[in-house]
Amino acid sequence: MRAFWATLGLLSLGLGIIGIAVPLLPTVPFILLAAFCFARSSERLHIWLLSHHRFGPVIEDWNRRGAISAKVKRISTVSILAVFSISLILGLRPLILGIQAVVLGCVAVFIWTRPNG
C-alpha cells in the first residue's frame, strides 16, 4: 500500500507543479492530495512538502483551519470564469453549459465560504 500512496502522491505533486504554469489546472488541490498521500507512504517526502517555502504554508493553512488565501480565491474565481467563458465561446450545448455552471458555481461557493488563510 505504501507504494500505491507514494505513486499517487508523486503523480499529484507533478500535476500540482504543472498547474503552476497551466492556468486552468488547479495547483492547491493536487498539493493537498500529495500531502495526504505522502503522510501515508513517506515521512521524508511528507516533511519535505510541509517545509517547502511555497507549498508548506498552503498545506498548513488547510490543515489547521480549512483556510484558503484570498489570493488563491481570486485566482480560482478568475479560472472558473475563464473556463466557463471558453465553453460559451465554443458554443457548447445548453445542457453541458448548465451542468458546468452548476458544478463550477458549487466550487466557487465552496472556495469563498472557506476562511481566509
pTM for this entry: 0.72
CA distances (Å), origin 16, targets 28, 88, 108, 113, 117: 7, 27, 19, 23, 19
69-113, pLDDT tens digit by residue? Answer: 898 889 889 888 988 999 999 999 999 999 999 999 998 999 999
Q: What pLDDT, on the 0 to 100 scale, is given for residue 23?
A: 67
26-37, pLDDT tens digit by residue? Answer: 788 899 999 999
Q: What pLDDT, on the 0 to 100 scale, is given for residue 83?
A: 87
